[in-house]
A and B are shown apart, each in its own frame.
Chain A
C-alpha cells in the first residue's frame, strides 16, 4: 500500500500539470473579457490600454509558463519570506488578480476562514446526521422512520439552495427575526458571547447546506447498507451469536462504507471550494463567492489559481479514498 501511495503521489505531478494546462486552455477558449464589467461609458481605446496593462497582449503560452512559474516558485517563496522574514521573493511579480490588481493569495487567505466555518461545519453536521440516519433507515427498511427520512431527504435534495436559502431567510430572519440574514465576515470570536453571535449567523447557511449534503449522503449510506444486510456473511455472523449491534455497526457498516467514503472524499475539496449559491444567498463571501465573482469578471488568474488548488485537493483526496478502500476491504489490492 505504501509503494502504491508513493507511486500515485509521483504520478500526481504530471497529472496536475496536465490539469493546469487543460484549465488554462479552457479559460482561454471560453468567451469573456475582463473588461465586461467596465461601464459602457468608458471608451474602447481605454479598455484596450487596460487589457494591455493586465498583460493580455502577451501570447497565451507565455502567460501559461509565467503562471506556472508564479504558482510553483514565486508564491512559495513569498510564503517562505512571510514565515521567516526573508526577502527572497522581492521584485518577483506574484499572481495578480485582474479585478483589483492585487495578489490573488491575499483574497484567498481572507476567504478561507468563513468558508471553513460555514461549509466545514455543514459537512460535519451532515456526516454526523446522515450516517446514523442511513444506517437506521436501512436496518428498519420501510418503517415510518425510513419513509419519513426518504421524504425529507428527497424534498431536501430537490429544492435548490437559491430557493431554500431565501425561504429560511424570509421565515427566520424577516418574520421571526431570530437570525441575521447577512453574514458578517469581520466578526471575530473572542469570548462566549461573540461565539454565540457566530453560531447565530452561521445557523441558517449551515442548515441549508447540511440539508443538501445529508440528503445525498444518507441515501448512499442507506442503499449500501441494504446491499450488505442481506449478504451471507451477515447471516453467518448472526448465526455465530454475535450481538445485533456488533453485526450491524461493525460488520455491515464497514463493508458499506466504500460508496460513502467516495462521496465524502469528493466532498472535502468542495468544502474548500465553498458553496457558491449558499454563500451568495447569505453573503458569506467565502471561496465560492470569490470563484463565482472571478468567473463573472473573467478574472482568469484568480479562476486558474482557485480551480488548480481544487484540482490538487481532488487528486489528493481521491488518493486518500483509494487508500481507505484498501483499509475497509483488505481484499482490494492495487499492486
Chain B
C-alpha cells in the first residue's frame, strides 16, 4: 500500500540473499590491494564540504549512512536493523517523526562505540549556518533530532513528510564521529584539515594517506563489523587525468582494477574492451540529457533586466514549433553515436525509477516530413526562399548553446542539421563547462541566465523520489536579476495547473499514488514545451576481469559494496 511496505518486503528478502550471494569467503585482507581510478580527483574526504561525486564516493569507503540504496534503488538498512516505516511503527501516523534503531555493538574504526550522539552531532554539524554544508538540503525538512538512548535516533520533521528517507540516508548523508569533529563546527571547518582529510568512520576501510586532488591510500578497518571483510587489505585510489586514460588503464594495460564514469564514445569503449583486461558495466539512474526551451525572450537588444526575463519567447511556445523540433530529432541515432550501451531513448524528464516512467509520449522515430507539415499547417512558411521559415515577420532562428564536451558537440552538429532541414536556422555555441555551470551573476554565459533560445545539458536527482526535482519547475523558482539569477527553473516554464498538481504531490503518500501524479507532472511539462528530452543516460564504469563482487549502483555511491569486492582466483 505504501512505499514503506514495498521497501520493507524487499529488505527482508534482500538481507539473506546478500549474505550468501557470492559464496566467496575468507579472512580479511586476503586479496592484497585493489586499485581504483577516478578521472576527477577527490579534493577532500569530508562529504559535507564538497558535493562532488568524486569526494562523496571516495569518502563512502570510510563513512556510512544509517541506510542506503542498493543497485536496484531499494532502500537497505546499513547501520540500523530495519528501515522504519509506518507499519513497523518507525514512522508516526502523522508522518512528522521517524525513529531509527541503531544496530547494537557497532564501533568506529578507532574502537569507540557508535552511538546516537554521533548521529545527532552530524545533524548539528551540517545545519550550522556558518559551516556551508553542501548537503544542507538533506536536513532542510528536519525540525530537530533527539536521542532518547544510545541506540535510538528520533528525527522530527517541520511538517508531514511523506518521503522521510533523506537525512542520514545514502552516500551523501553519512554519519561523522562527534569526538573527532566536535571542534570543527561552523566557521572552524577550515582549521580542521586533519579531520577533513582523514575522517574516522564505520566503513570497511580507513584512510592511511590523503593527497588532495591526487591520490588516497586506504587500509582495511580492523574494527569493521564483519570479521571476514573486506577482502582487500589496501586500496589505492588515484585521481586525475581524463576518462580516456582511466578506461585504458583498466581495460587495456591492466594497471588499475576499477575506473569510474567513462563518458567515452561507444567505439572507443569497444576498442578498449578488446584489450581483454577488463569490461564495462552500466547502470541507469534518472539522468536525462535534454534540450531546454527558453520561455522568455533572450534578444541581445533587450536590457539586462529584460533579457531572458520578460515573457514570452517570440516563437518557442508555439506547440507547432516545439513539437516539430522534437519530431525532427532521431533519438535512437543520438544514443548510438553518443552513448551506445550507456544510453536509451527517452521522451520523459523522469525516466527512472521504472514506476515513475511515463509511457504517454512516444518520440522514438524521427519524422522530418511530419515536422515540416506541422510547421506549414501552423502558418510557418519560408516565403522569401532563404531556407528559414517565418510567420508575421518572425523568423525561426535559434541560438543553441551547451557546455564543451565531445558528445554534446556531436549532438549539436546533428540536431542543427535536422532543424535546418525543417526550416529552423540554428547557430551553435559551446561554453567552457566551469563557466556554463557556474552561478557567476556577472557572466553572460551561465546556463541559469540562458542568453540563448535553447540549451542542452543533463540533470538528475538524488535518491529515488522525484518530488524536489519536479518542484524545480515551479513558477517561483525562475531565475531573474532580482534573485541574482538563482533558481532551478531554467526554462522559466510557468503553469498554474502544474504548481497546483505539484502541491498535491507534496501532500500525497503511497508510492503508487505519488508515481501517478509525478507522471502527470512529467507529461504536463513535455506536452507544454518546457523541454525536449533526448537521451536517458546511464553510468558506465569499467572493472578488471578478475575483480569480483561489483554491483554498479547509480542510486548511491558506486563503491557502496566495496566490502564485498574480491579478487577472482585470488
Query: Which A residues contact B (CB, under 8 angstroms)?
Result: 31-54, 93, 96-97, 99-103, 106-107, 110-111, 166, 169, 173-174, 177, 180-182, 184-186, 280-283, 285, 289-290, 293, 295-298
Q: In the complex the two chains form, what is the Cα distance from A295 to B433 in whole Å?
A: 12
Q: Would you call A32 and B434 a contact (CB within 8 A)?
A: yes
Q: Would you call A43 and B189 a contact (CB within 8 A)?
A: no
- Contact segment of B306-314, B329-337, B456-464: B456-464
Q: Would you call B214 and A185 a contact (CB within 8 A)?
A: yes
Whether A169 contacts B443 in the complex (CB less than 8 A), given A99-B43, A100-B44, A101-B189, comes out as no
Q: Would you call A290 and B434 a contact (CB within 8 A)?
A: no
Q: Would you call B242 and A280 a contact (CB within 8 A)?
A: yes
Q: Would you call A177 and B486 a contact (CB within 8 A)?
A: no
Whether A38 contacts B51 in the complex (CB less than 8 A), given A44-B486, A285-B214, comes out as yes
Q: Would you call B442 and A44 a contact (CB within 8 A)?
A: no
* Contact residues in A for B440 (Cβ distance below 8 Å): 31-33
How many inter-chain contacts with C-beta < 8 Å in the A-B complex? Answer: 185
Which chain A residue has the least Cβ–Cβ distance from B136?
Answer: A46
Q: What are the interface flags for B29-53 relative to A under an 8 Å C-beta threshold, 1 for contact and 0 otherwise?
A: 0000000010001011010011111
Q: Would you call A182 and B190 a contact (CB within 8 A)?
A: no
Q: Would you call B241 and A33 a contact (CB within 8 A)?
A: no
Q: What are the interface flags for B101-136 relative to A under an 8 Å C-beta threshold, 1 for contact and 0 otherwise?
A: 000000000000000000000000000011111111
Q: In the complex the two chains form, what is the Cα distance from A51 to B1 in whole Å?
A: 43
Query: Which B residues contact A (CB, under 8 angstroms)?
Result: 37, 41, 43-44, 46, 49-53, 129-137, 187, 189-191, 193, 196-197, 209, 211-215, 217, 236, 238-242, 244-245, 248-249, 252-253, 255-256, 275, 433-440, 442-446, 459-462, 468-469, 486-488
Which chain A residue has the least Cβ–Cβ distance from B131?
Answer: A53
SS class of chain B's interface: helix, strand, loop or mixed?
loop
Q: Would you call B51 and A293 a contact (CB within 8 A)?
A: no
CB<8 Å pairs between A and B, sample of 27? A33-B438, A34-B438, A35-B439, A37-B52, A40-B488, A44-B439, A44-B486, A44-B487, A46-B133, A46-B135, A47-B439, A50-B134, A100-B49, A102-B196, A107-B213, A111-B214, A174-B248, A174-B275, A177-B253, A181-B253, A182-B256, A186-B211, A281-B245, A283-B238, A296-B434, A298-B434, A298-B438
Whether A49 contacts B133 in the complex (CB less than 8 A), given A182-B245, A285-B213, comes out as yes
Whether A54 contacts B137 in the complex (CB less than 8 A), given A31-B442, A48-B486, A182-B238, comes out as no
Residue among B189, B244, B252, B488 facing the most chain A CB atoms (10 A cut-off):
B252
Whether A289 contacts B240 in the complex (CB less than 8 A), given A93-B190, A101-B49, A181-B249, comes out as yes
Whether A54 contacts B211 in the complex (CB less than 8 A), given A99-B43, A296-B434, comes out as no
* Contact residues in A for B436 (Cβ distance below 8 Å): 36
Which of B189, B236, B244, B461 has a CB less than 8 Å from the CB of A53? B189
Q: Would you call A36 and B211 a contact (CB within 8 A)?
A: no
* Contact residues in A for B50 (Cβ distance below 8 Å): 38, 99-100
Q: Would you call A31 and B44 a contact (CB within 8 A)?
A: no
Which chain A residue has the least Cβ–Cβ distance from B437?
Answer: A36
Q: Would you call A32 and B437 a contact (CB within 8 A)?
A: no
Beyond the given A38-B50, A53-B187, please list 12 additional residue pairs across the A-B interface where CB-CB is below 8 A.
Answer: A42-B51, A43-B488, A44-B488, A46-B135, A46-B136, A96-B190, A101-B49, A102-B190, A107-B213, A169-B245, A293-B41, A296-B433
